[in-house]
A and B are shown apart, each in its own frame.
Chain A
Amino acid sequence: MKPLYKYAILILTVLTVISACSKKDDSQPQTANKATLSLQFDNIAGDRNLQLNTGTYKNAFGEKFTVQLLQYFISNIKVKTKDDQEFVVPQDESYFLVKESDGATQFCKVKVPEGDYKTLTFTLGVDSLRNTMDISKRTGVLDPTGGMDDGMYWGWNSGYIFFKMEGTSEQAPVDPTGVRKFRFHIGGFGGYSAPTFNNVKTVTVDLSAAGIARVREGRESNVHFFVDVMKMFNGKTNISIAANPQVMFSNYSVNVANNFSSMFYHDHTEN
């Protein structure tokens, strides 16, 4: 009996050590308490605040336009400290649909460990993996219910619409409903069984110039971005409403998406 007893103790000790090791592996490098980090997306048009329906703006081609609908996905948020400690927000908590018509949606709030963050990274759109996941993993803003008006999902060619902007312009041709409307529905995650274009854009912002995010428990650090829709029109390729009033699932959409990254301007941080 005695040697068996000894073995049992030995095995138990080994097991305890092993479980202790695995426990360590599970935890993030930062062990501090988590607190709220808020990303504010404040939509503007050049020098003016964006006002749905009432504001009139002019792009590089001199085309006057109004915006009736503006919404886009922000996802896969990551932060990095000065000494390159990275924290990736768990994916299931990291999908947001920002709508100009709904102020509350313009604040994307995530929980990150307390710390001073110098770099912020996020995706404009929805990553390809989530585009192909089982429907039960697509809840909340990702529920693929389609819908023609404010829906952010293409049913006919399975995939999310990352960025949707619609409005009117005298330069847009009359559409079948009798309105001079332009529509930019930008998506495309690279294709499932056959490769197509990939309009998923990752944006990395250095916060040091306009204010790093000091995340502390009991406070809410708010990183305030201006999102300039004018930069969607005026960029590497200037987009003309007259020439391209409807940009949806087409190769031309790549030009629009390539202008996206410069839309985000870090104005300040409220700590």
Chain B
Amino acid sequence: MTTLKIKKMRERTLYIILFSFSLFIYACKKETNIKEVISTFLGFQKPSNFPEPVYKLENNPITEAGFLLGRALFYEPRLSRDNTISCGSCHIQTSGFTQHGHDVSHGIDDRLGSRNSPPMMNLAWNKSFMWDGGVFDLDLQPVNPITNPVEMDEKIENVLLKLKQMPKYVSLFNKAFGTEEITNAMMMKALSQFMLMCVSANSKYDKVMRKEEGQTFTPDEQTGYTIFKDKCGNCHREPLFTDGSFRNNGIAIGPNNDQGRYMATLNPKDEYKFKVPSLRNLGYTAPYMHDGRFLTLNGVLEHYTNEVKATPNLDPFLQQHDQLGISLSADAKLKLLTFLKTLDDKDFVTRKDLAEQ
């Protein structure tokens, strides 16, 4: 009997110990729960009115630490030769990640590039990068501005050396990739993580399409939308407002004879073709075209209605019914511009998490 009693007591002690341990475990768990609540990082989220992304997210899963490192790098002037120019210098958030007021980008030592800084948004859906599409992977894009003599004029090797000397980056890379190493591939993947998070999908248009907050188009916006679908939507395809293709839109050859897509493919059919830009955030991203030649949207519409040149490979959509360009009445232009305003995403250009900290 006594041995049985002892056995029972032992059992009881065991249960007590187990119970107290489980309390500890519970306590630990609680702490992590609290941490999760503090972090507002939601990761990459595909807007419900968008297609599947093109970028291979499985090769670069977006984490909070990777995003934070990418953001630090994006706004890091040490990426340039004399530590003066960051990616954010020519891709300014409040201007839809373009360099507002500059026809062509303005880089190191006040040197000028040959093209207009394109807006940086919805890059996960881009099939190619640059106005000529020469780059086919977002991870391979940042090497260009960093090494271009008129942009940041630096060597990747030097950038990595500078970053390795900064405890801030040693720690940020370690958090993001779990290693003390800092490599080019990691830097590019982190930059991609930040850029992929620059998703613009909260314009009035998006809310109307998703039937959010009871938003609807005004009658003028609705008329403009109908005109848009009829006259512009073939190339500026919804919901990204570009089909990612390269087209000759009949603009006059620029003074620097930029041959666009032809330079990347050497196919004569691609001469003077440029990538169809998205129409999202137009209100923030003036000036327009690959060389920023049009300062206003009126200038752009004037081109499409009255100034399209009969280039040898002019896009078929711009020469229908034996007529060059697009026919739009003055009233139709106004309504179209009213609709285009619904593509401005205020939230995107003011979001704190995308800003320099």
Using a CB–CB cutoff of 8 Å, the interface residues on chain A facing chain B are: 132, 134-136, 138-139, 143-148, 151, 153, 155-158, 191-197, 249-251
**Chain A residues within 8 Å of B127, by CB:** 193
CB contacts (< 8 Å) of B189 on chain A: these are 135-136
Task: Please measure, in the bound complex, the distance between the C-alpha atom of A151 and the C-alpha atom of B156, giving whole angstroms.
Answer: 11
23 sampled A-B residue pairs with Cβ under 8 A: A134-B56, A134-B137, A135-B188, A136-B189, A143-B185, A144-B140, A144-B143, A146-B147, A146-B156, A147-B147, A151-B147, A155-B147, A156-B130, A157-B134, A157-B135, A157-B264, A158-B134, A158-B137, A191-B265, A192-B136, A193-B128, A197-B266, A249-B266
Which of A143, A158, A191, A251 interacts with B184 by CB under 8 Å? A143
Q: What 5 A-B pairs come out closest when comparing CB atoms? A: A145-B156, A157-B134, A155-B143, A146-B147, A135-B139
Nearest CB of chain A from residue B187's CB, rounded to whole Å: 10
Q: What B residues does A148 contact at CB under 8 A?
A: 147, 149
Could you list which residues of chain B lie within 8 angstroms of chain A, going by C-beta atoms?
56, 59, 127-128, 130, 132-137, 139-140, 143-144, 146-149, 155-157, 183-185, 188-189, 263-267, 270
- Distance A193 CA – B140 CA, assembled complex (angstroms): 15
Specify which chain B residues have a CB less than 8 angstroms from the CB of A147 in the assembled complex. Answer: 147, 155-157
- Which among B56, B128, B134 is the interface contact of A156 at CB below 8 angstroms? B134
Number of A-B contacts (CB under 8 A): 84
Cβ-closest chain B residue relative to A197? B266
Which one of B134, B148, B267, B270 has the highest number of Cβ atoms from chain A below 10 Å of its Cβ? B134
- B120 CB to closest chain A CB (Å) equals 17
Least distance between B261 CB and chain A CB atoms (Å) = 8
Besides A136-B185, A143-B183, A158-B135, 12 more A-B contacts (Cβ < 8 Å) are A132-B137, A134-B56, A135-B185, A139-B185, A143-B185, A144-B143, A145-B184, A147-B156, A153-B143, A155-B135, A157-B132, A195-B265
For the complex formed, measure the closest distance between the CB of B78 and the CB atoms of chain A, giving whole angstroms.
16
Residues of chain B within 8 A of A193, CB atoms compared: 127-128, 133, 136
Task: Return B53 CB to nearest CB of chain A, in Å.
Answer: 15
Chain B residues lying within 8 Å of A138, measured Cβ to Cβ, are: 185
Asked whether A135 lies within 8 Å of B140 as measured between CB atoms, the reply is: yes
B270 adjacent to A194 (CB under 8 Å): yes
Q: Is A156 within 8 A of B185, CB to CB?
A: no
Chain A, Cβ-Cβ closest to B244: A193
A196 to chain B, nearest CB (A): 5
Interface of A is mostly: loop
Task: Give the distance in Å from the alpha carbon of A123 to the alpha carbon of B305 in the complex.
Answer: 53
C-alpha spacing A197/B264, complex, angstroms:
11
Contacts of A144 on B, CB cut-off 8 Å? 140, 143, 184
**Complex CA–CA separation, A147 to B148 (angstroms):** 8
Query: Is B136 touching A158 in the complex (CB atoms < 8 A)?
Result: yes
Task: Give A192 to B264 CA distance when docked, in angstroms.
Answer: 10
Q: Inside 8 A of B130's CB, which chain A residues have their CB? A: 156
Which of A135, A156, A157 gathers the greatest number of chain B CB atoms within 10 Å?
A135
Q: Tell me which of A135, A153, A156, A250 contacts B266 (CB under 8 A).
A: A250
B266: chain A residues within 8 A (beta carbon): 196-197, 249-251
Closest CB-CB distance, B136 to chain A, in whole Å? 4
Given contacts A146-B144, A194-B270, contact A157 B263 (CB under 8 A): yes
Contacts of A191 on B, CB cut-off 8 Å?
265
Please give the distance in Å from B141's CB to the nearest CB on chain A.
8
- Chain A contacts for B267, CB-based, 8 A: 194, 196
Which of A136, A153, A157 has the largest number of chain B CB atoms within 10 A?
A: A157
Interchain nearest-CB distance for B55 vs A (Å): 11
The smallest beta-carbon distance between A263 and chain B, in angstroms, is: 24
Q: Which residues of A contact B270 (CB under 8 A)?
A: 194
Other-chain residue from B56, B139, B143, B265 in contact with A194 (beta carbon distance below 8 A): B265
**A138-B185, A155-B143 known; A145 vs B155 contact (CB < 8 Å):** yes
Q: How far is the CA of A158 from the CA of B128 in the complex (A)?
A: 10
Q: Shortest distance in angstroms between A136's beta carbon and chain B's nearest beta carbon?
A: 5
Q: How far is the CB of A48 from chain B (nearest CB, A)?
A: 34
Complex CA gap A148/B149 in Å reads 9
Instruction: Contact check, B136 vs A145: say whether CB atoms are below 8 A apart.
Output: no
User: How far is B188's CA from A156's CA once the two chains are assembled, in angstroms?
Assistant: 15
Q: How far is the CA of A147 from the CA of B149 in the complex (A)?
A: 10
Q: Write the nearest CB–CB distance from A252 to chain B, whole angstroms.
A: 10
Partner of B139, one of A134, A192, A249, A251: A134
Given A135-B139, A156-B134, A192-B136: A145 touches B263 (CB 8 Å cut-off): no
In whole Å, how far is A167's beta carbon from the nearest beta carbon of chain B?
Answer: 22
In the bound complex, how far is the Cα of B184 from the Cα of A151, in angstroms? 14
Q: Which residues of B contact A132 (CB under 8 A)?
A: 136-137
* B88 smallest CB distance to A (angstroms): 20
| Nearest B residue to A136, CB-CB | B185
Query: A197 — which chain B residues lie within 8 A by C-beta?
Result: 266
Which of chain B's residues has its CB closest to A192's CB?
B136
